[in-house]
A and B are shown apart, each in its own frame.
Chain A
Amino acid sequence: MRRLGAIIVSAMLPVAASVAFADELVKFAVVDDNEIRESLTGKPGNPEEGRKAAANRGLGNCLACHVMPIKEDLQGDVGPDLKGVASRLKESELRLRLVNPKLLNPQTAMPAFYRTDGLNRVRKDMEGKPILTAAQIEDIVAYLLTLKE
């Protein structure tokens, strides 16, 4: 019985923690304003999940602005074509561009997908939350790494 109790407590803790500290992001180190070398989750992402998150309008919605080499209607052309992006950028560079592309270009229209500070009038239900979770960022990084020319 004691063991079961311990399992329940440990299973509940992360939930409680994520509610209490919803606006606390995983710490990461930026190198040369161009790279984030370590995985935000400490492990590689899942490219299959990443592909789905990239196309999902409520998550990455990368297709809103980027053409991607997948079968989906209505691909935007505000940003560069992502075909072959992994031949142009390293994993650490892709990660930084997802986390906060404004570190490279403050004028860019591209949102910072893993950031909660410095934003204006964020909708109440989104307050303190990044657009994507650390795991979703890693999944999309893993997916983008499959886009080699």
Chain B
Amino acid sequence: MRRPSHIAFALTLAVAGGAAFAQAQSEKDAKYRVGDKYTGYTYADPTTQSMQDDDYVNPGFLWVQEGEKLWSAAEGAAGKSCADCHGKAQESMKAVGALYPKWQEKIGKLENVEQRINQCRADNMKAEPWKWESPALLAMTAYVQLQSRGQPVDVAVEGPVKPHLQNGERLFYMRHGQLDLSCANCHEDNDGKWMRGDHLGQAMANGFPTYRLKEQTLISLQFRLIGCVRDTRAEAYPYGSDEYLDLELYLAHRGKGLPVEAPSVRR
């Protein structure tokens, strides 16, 4: 009689433990699901998820730390640092990244975070722009985006931005390259399925810059878009092109309400 009760006790524990684990897992997952939208986190393997969850383990924080240093480093002819005008990033940059790409009235142009950083360097610091995908630009972008972590993506799409959104949507559905694939073919018509070793997701942009295990580095959304277009065997558009800006806007709009997840970790 003792044995069955032991077994029953062990079973109860196992079931309770399993349920607790499943619940913790689904609570973490729920953060990255809004309605029928979900991010790559939800289907990342548990090791990748825990890398992202722990700031001390997440390799993206190497860039964040560098960005924090750069924030208060004076540079350029004006001899100013970001901090001289913006003070503490934790306050001045809070939730800012969730609004990008954003229309800049002064220059009559849509800008992403990288472009805003460089424009600010040019206008206020009289400093040279950082090159696309340079360690410094990635570091500053990661540091700025981190201040919006958890904030729902909320890009403005009305007024002068509307034609850009429409163009981004057009590009999302436009087939490219010798393989004749649109973004939608994989990330909308077939999300959740497997393409060889890759789980097709919804192409959500809220986790960028992202630490990509495949590349062993932090990457920008622009870098990923270039890679994706090239994978269709098409001529990629250049960094910062109108096409990618509009696409970036459309992706952000598709993912409206998802929390900024930067720096995320992905396979």
A interface with B by C-beta (< 8 Å):
57, 61, 63-65, 73-78, 102, 107, 109, 111-112, 119-124, 126, 129, 131
Contacts and interface: CB of A to CB of B under 8 A. Distances in A.
Given A112-B180, A131-B178, A78 B190 contact: yes
B179 interface: yes
B235 interface: yes
B28 interface: no
Given A123-B230, A126-B233, A76 B193 contact: yes
Interface string B184-199: 0110011001111100
Contacts of A61: 196
A123 B181 contact: no
B200 interface: yes
A109 B189 contact: yes
Interface in B209-267: 229-230, 233-235
- Interface residue SS majority, chain B: loop
- Interface residue SS majority, chain A: loop
B177 interface: yes
Given A111-B178, A111-B181, A123-B178, A74 B196 contact: yes
28 contacts: A61-B196, A65-B196, A74-B196, A74-B197, A75-B196, A77-B194, A78-B190, A78-B200, A109-B186, A111-B179, A111-B180, A112-B180, A119-B177, A120-B174, A120-B176, A120-B177, A120-B234, A121-B177, A122-B177, A122-B178, A122-B233, A122-B234, A123-B177, A123-B234, A123-B235, A126-B177, A126-B178, A131-B179
A38 B52 CA distance: 55
B175 interface: yes
B181 A64 contact: no
Contacts of B185: 109
A65 to B, nearest CB: 6
Contacts, number: 70
Interface residues of B, number: 23
Given A107-B189, A109-B189, A120-B174, 20 more contacts: A57-B196, A64-B195, A65-B196, A77-B193, A78-B186, A78-B190, A78-B193, A78-B194, A78-B195, A78-B200, A109-B181, A109-B186, A111-B178, A119-B177, A119-B178, A120-B175, A123-B235, A124-B235, A126-B177, A129-B178
Contacts of B175: 119-120
Nearest to B175: A120
Contact of B194 (A76, A123, A129): A76
A16 B24 CA distance: 66
A102 B186 CA distance: 16
